Amino acid sequence: MEIPEEEFLAPGHRGCAGCGATVGVRLALKMLGKNTVAVSATGCLEVITTPYPETSWKIPWIHVAFENAAAVASGVERALKSQGKDDVNVVTFAGDGGTADIGLQALSGAMERGHNLIYICYDNEAYMNTGVQRSGATPYGASTTTSPHGKESFGEDKPKKNIPMIMAAHGVPYVATASISYPEDFMKKVKKAKEVDGPAYIHLHQPCTTGWGFDPSQTIELGRLAVETGSWILYEIEEGEFKITYRPMQRKPVNTYLESQKRFKHLKEEEKDRIQEYVDQVCAELKI
């Protein structure tokens, strides 16, 4: 796969060393190209890329608030249409908090209305911008500052909310999961999302060195481990047809993924076993 050299997200932003979110945005924008307007929800990405008077965005970009990125994008898309600029891509980048929690209503509305826009959720599995608080996308067992482990707690006690399937239930033409550690898979999906007429949703799994607790050099490796252990599954749903886009040759034990992150360090064997059982169950359902 040929990856365009041109960059639309400039370096020098305030992201942490090893930031996974910006890797995802760079790759997405390479596929979307210059003729694109981006909308951001409040969050890490917005804060690190636009410290006034600087900006990393080489394409037009707008941010309004935390919970309304999909609604802002709806307005942008229709306004461009009203000017005959139907060829401009409208892409939204929102974190898992801005997507699974506070922004879910606006997102649902936008998906239902059928706007021609691409919504990419960069999922780092907690509110990282404000210091690692749990979100609806925080996985079972993860310790965050608002789901801390302790004498009577093993951390987050609910599984990750399944947003891509909730999006699929809206009947939109394209839904996919992706990982920054599988760039070709992700970029192919962005390309499809761009070409589809109507709403497209991509849920991008993205390790966060600060929130998950691993060495910044290991970001890509962690994303790979998530997929290779079956903790994150790469698929797409095109016009209702579900397809796994990447199958690990042989699934690694979930523990290899868990033990490499501080957020799972506290887990006891029985809790890890429970997570393995859960992953096995999901993978069995999907024949992975």
Partner 1 sequence: MLRVISANRALAEAVKLARPKVVPVYPITPQTTISEYLASFVADGELKAEYIMVESEHSAISAALGASGTGVRVFTATSSQGLALMHEILFAAAGLRAPIVMGNANRALSAPLSIWNDQQDSISERDSGWMQFFAENAQEALDFILQAYRISEDQDVLLPSMVCVDGFILTHTVEPVDIPTQEDVDKFLPPYQPTHSYLDPEHPMSIGTFTDPNYYMDARYDMEIAMEGAVDVIRKVNKEFEEVFGRKYDLVEKYECEDAEIILVAMGSICGTIKAVIDDLREKGEKIGLLKVISFRPFPREDIYNAVKNANRIAVLDKNISMGIGGVLFNEIKAKMDVDASGFILGLGGRDVPPEDIIRIIERTRNPTDTQKINWIGIKEEE
By CB under 8 A, residue 37 contacts partner 1: yes
By CB under 8 A, residue 283 contacts partner 1: no
The 102-141 site mask, x for binding partner 1 (CB under 8 A), equals: ---xx-xx--xx----------------------------
Of 238, 224, 203, 223, nearest to 93 by C-alpha is 203
Q: In the numeric block, which tokens belong to residue 120? A: 């990419």
The answer to whether 202 and 176 are in contact (CB under 8 A) is: yes
Closer CB to partner 1, 36 or 147, in the complex: 36
> Cα separation of 26 and 21, whole Å?
9
Closer CB to partner 1, 36 or 181, in the complex: 36
Size of the site for partner 1 (CB under 8 A): 43
Q: How many CB atoms lie within 10 A of CB 31?
A: 21
Q: How many CB atoms lie within 10 A of CB 22?
A: 23
By CB under 8 A, residue 51 contacts partner 1: yes
Stretch that binds partner 1, among 28-36, 93-101, 237-245, 276-284 (CB under 8 A): 28-36
Residue 83 C-beta: closest distance to partner 1, Å: 7
CA distances from 90 to 43, 59, 137, 189 (A): 19, 11, 24, 15
Stretch that binds partner 1, among 55-63, 93-101, 154-162, 221-229 (CB under 8 A): 55-63
Strand, helix or coil for residue 145? coil
Q: Which amino acid is at 253?
A: P
Sorted by sequence, the CB contacts under 8 Å of residue 20 that are 6+ apart come out as: 122, 124, 180, 206, 207, 208, 209, 219, 223
Residue 76 C-beta: closest distance to partner 1, Å: 4
Residue 60 C-beta: closest distance to partner 1, Å: 4
Closer CB to partner 1, 115 or 205, in the complex: 115
The answer to whether 116 and 77 are in contact (CB under 8 A) is: yes
By CB under 8 A, residue 35 contacts partner 1: yes
Strand pairing of 149-150 and 89-95? unpaired
Which parts of 59-98 interact with partner 1 (CB under 8 A)?
59-65, 67-68, 70-76, 78-83, 88
Residue 188 C-beta: closest distance to partner 1, Å: 23
Q: Given the rule CB under 8 A, which residues bind partner 1? A: 34-37, 39, 46-47, 50-53, 55, 57-65, 67-68, 70-76, 78-83, 88, 105-106, 108-109, 112-113
